[in-house]
Amino acid sequence: MVKRHCDRTTTDVDVLVPTSTNLDLLYQQLVETPWFFREGGKIFIKPSGSVDNPFPRPLQIDILTAAVDDIRYDDLIPQTVTVDGNLMLSLSMSLGVKLRCWYLRVENVNSMSKQRSDLEDVVFLSNLMRRQGLGVDPGAAAVLKISHYNLLLIRLELLDEQIETIRLVGCNRFLRKYEDDSPEQREYYEAMGAKANTDPLVVELEDD
């Protein structure tokens, strides 16, 4: 997100690698450089102080073989761009991953801070896409799918203008077919006052 000029603070960075990667060897190669160290089985970037922040915290590196929902490196290569020499997910795919990750953290109390940052990123990425005149790419939407209940819960956390922004960039393109949502997701969706098989971003919620 830093490469996208987002000023949200973070304590870790996710790095996606191919499934075939020898992680033990990769960890060893990293700690043999002057820029990384290992502590408690985790890899960190060595902090570099500045006048404004003379005692920065080290940044943890999370090396992953799957991004979300078992979507792996090879699945995502077509949905990447190069930014300042770094291979990164496209804006569309980054947005989809954040929408999905937010939902996966809903029932995990220990992930509340991560969930808040996911929501901040959803808003940031949507605004960035809108400023650039971009919508959710069909290729990204074909790779990653979310439930109607997932998107409705996101909507309920946002301000009206934020909801309008994620609608305009086409977040509903990530929706799977309503019949492909789980029975539980459909039940919760309709229990919240939404009619079946509707757009979660615009549907009027009926009171009991």
Tell me the pLDDT tens digit for each residue of 140-171.
999 999 999 999 999 999 999 999 999 999 99
The larger pLDDT score, comparing residue 5 to residue 89, is at 89
Question: Is the predicted pLDDT of residue 5 greater than 60, yes or no?
Answer: no
Question: Residue 62 and residue 156: Cα distance in Å, rounded?
Answer: 30
For 191, half-sphere exposure in the C-beta direction (CA atoms, 13 angstrom radius) is 8
3-state secondary structure 142-206: HHCCECHHHHHHHHHHCCHHHHHHHHHCCHHHHECCHHHCCHHHHHHHHHCCCCCCCCCCCCCCC
Q: And the tokens for 180?
A: 């492909």
Mean pLDDT of 186-192: 96
Query: Whole-model pTM?
Result: 0.85
* Cα 195 from chain centre: 27
DSSP letter at 88 equals: E
Q: What are the residue ranges spanned by the domains of the chain?
A: 89-191
Tell me the pLDDT tens digit for each residue of 88-103.
899 999 999 999 999 9
